Amino acid sequence: MLATALPSAASRALDRLSGTALEWIWQCWSAAQPWPQFFDTKQFTAPQGALELKERLAINIPYYRGNYIILGGGLLILAALLRPVIVVAAILLFLLYSYLFYGQLENFYPWWTTRRKHVAFGVAAALVAYGVDAIGTISSTLVVAALLALVHSACHKSNDEVDFEANLPNGR
């Protein structure tokens, strides 16, 4: 039963999840600001005070949100590729999820309720994530991405911020 149910369940799950994931990725990508503007080093200066820091954070975090999400996602992919066991674990968890939720277990085993499926998958996911140290890798990668986003949003001049130094003769 597993040999026949798993491929069709995985196919149905992949169809559903890929559409949702692609839609979310497209929303992030379309919300991102142009990358040359994001990486423009001429716009990086230290904030002069707490008020300027607060204003920059309030303006830049929502403005560059898509860029920060894409940057964090890229760092997560890089971290996963540097630890291939995490990729294997993610594939195995996807197959388990597909089998539990799209394999129509209820037809063969009526005691597999939705609640039991969630509990079984949650326990398996926690054990696998702990076993391959995915929790440490993912959390440290997300912390690095958050720090990069905070430093960028604090040091990048917002678009409405006037640059008085740009109009001085000889660049001074």
pLDDT tens for the 172 residues of the chain, in order = 444 555 666 676 767 666 677 787 788 888 889 999 999 999 999 999 999 999 999 999 999 999 999 999 999 999 988 988 998 998 899 888 888 887 776 667 777 888 888 999 999 999 999 989 888 888 999 999 999 999 999 999 987 765 555 554 544 4
Stated as kind and residue range, the H or E segment containing 4 is: helix 2-31
Any domain includes 125: yes
Any domain includes 170: no
Any domain includes 167: no
Model pTM score: 0.71
Any domain includes 172: no
Instruction: Give residue 150's region: left, alpha or beta (phi > 0; psi -120 to 50).
Output: alpha
Number of domains into which the chain is organized: 1
Any domain includes 85: yes
Look up the domain containing 104 and give its range.
2-161
Any domain includes 39: yes
The neighbour count for residue 131, using CB atoms within 10 Å, is: 10
Any domain includes 169: no
Q: Which two three-digit tokens encode residue 139? A: 């959390």
Any domain includes 168: no
Residue 141 and residue 95 in contact, taking contact as beta carbons nearer than 8 Å: no
Tell me how far apart the alpha carbons of residues 150 and 98 are, in angstroms, rounded to a whole number: 37
Q: How far is CA 45 from CA 61, 94, 172, in A?
A: 16, 44, 15
